Copies of this chain bind each other. A is one copy, B any other.
């Protein structure tokens, strides 16, 4: 929605709320699309939200809660009466309902579940961790049998009458309940009505186990251009289905987390402006302190070479230049490698190839930067030995930075640590300390101090 329309709708809504016209306010919300409803709703104060939600039609309330951050929903639900929560949860997709119930106390979840019309649709979904394929899947799916005809399948589909927008695949199970095929609505419409499902279904199936990481499941769906991915247990029994709209959300979330981690902060759990400064500070200060500690390493290196610094103060002038370039070269490498790992462009076992790739890049970059540094140094201080020192140091630093920047994320990935944790800032800070070491030692040799 356009920014001006949002502002205008919000104003109307706030006016209605000030007049205590809750029904009028509900109508303003109900005519919007789910994503827009949630955007507008999120702008209200919490007490307004609590007052308004019971007035909004259950399907719309369900849509709104599905679109909001899990944390916002959990807070909101605390203020709502049980029967109100049940009214809304009844209308939610089973996977979203399970997420919501997983965020309230176990006792309340039990009470709410037992009030649902069909608790068995939601209950099995609650045992899977949020970040797994099982946590992402929905239990709303239709299974066909191999001996059904296309006509039977269409009848079964009509009887089921799903209201979810994104149902496209129908899965086929064998007599043991194991997933053995898939057919999509396009194939079903195109098929001769008397043909057997057996003959039209696709048997080369891609499926994931419930415990698979949600990011891995998402990458599979993207790789093979699927609109949904079936989730099975160890015995191959179909448990649920992951749909592409949920995958899009996962991918967006994961990319956000990668970028935030790479920027040297723990990922935020909710939208930026909805996160209070105190929480943002908490997410950032840990890394900042850790990086501060590693930066004191750099200070320690400088203290080691205090005599050299006192002898030639000009050495200090080039320090920001050197550690800046080293840090930047390292960041460039790390950003590329982390992302290539994320999109499965490279795998941890490619370490050697990647490192050799970066050595060559580092050599080229280092030579280029060495020339630039020599020119800059000689124009600042007409001292060839000093200029050579700076120039040689920058070559060494860039080589070192690209090497470390490429190998660290790969080691992290191999050890099962998220490579994005080897963030840009950590990289720079590490390269800073070791870079000064290189610099002062080259200076000692060339300048003979």
User: Which residues of A come within 8 Å of B, CB atoms?
Assistant: 3, 33-35, 154, 157-158, 161-162, 165-168, 184-186, 188-190, 204, 222-225, 227, 244-245, 247-249, 251-252, 255-256, 258-260, 262-265, 268, 271-273, 277-278, 280-281, 284-285, 287-289, 291-292, 295-296, 298-299, 302-303, 306, 309-310, 313, 316-321, 323-325, 327-329, 331-340, 343, 345-347, 349-350, 353-354, 357, 360-361, 364-365, 368-369, 372-373, 376, 380, 424-425, 428-429, 432, 436
* Cβ A259 vs Cβ B425 within 8 A: no
Contact among B225, B345, B424 for A331, CB-based, below 8 A: B424
* Cβ B184 vs Cβ A373 within 8 A: no
Set of chain B residues within 8 Å of A347, measured between Cβ atoms: 3
* Cβ B285 vs Cβ A158 within 8 A: no
User: Given A33-B204, A291-B328, 9 other A-B contacts at CB below 8 A?
Assistant: A167-B186, A185-B186, A256-B343, A259-B339, A262-B262, A271-B340, A281-B365, A299-B380, A332-B425
* Cβ A335 vs Cβ B260 within 8 A: yes
Contact among B309, B313, B339 for A306, CB-based, below 8 A: B313
Set of chain B residues within 8 Å of A277, measured between Cβ atoms: 357, 360-361, 364
Set of chain B residues within 8 Å of A271, measured between Cβ atoms: 340, 345
Set of chain B residues within 8 Å of A287, measured between Cβ atoms: 328, 332
Question: Complex Cα distance A289/B398, Å?
Answer: 12
* Cβ B185 vs Cβ A168 within 8 A: yes
In the A-B complex, the 3 residue pairs with the closest CB atoms: A263-B335, A277-B360, A298-B320
* Cβ B281 vs Cβ A368 within 8 A: yes
Question: Complex Cα distance A320/B428, Å?
Answer: 11
Set of chain B residues within 8 Å of A185, measured between Cβ atoms: 168, 185-186, 189
* Cβ B260 vs Cβ A336 within 8 A: yes
Q: Which residue of B lies closest to A365 (CB)?
A: B281
Contact among B262, B281, B316 for A335, CB-based, below 8 A: B262
Question: Complex Cα distance A49/B300, Å?
Answer: 55
* Cβ B165 vs Cβ A225 within 8 A: yes
* Cβ B188 vs Cβ A189 within 8 A: yes
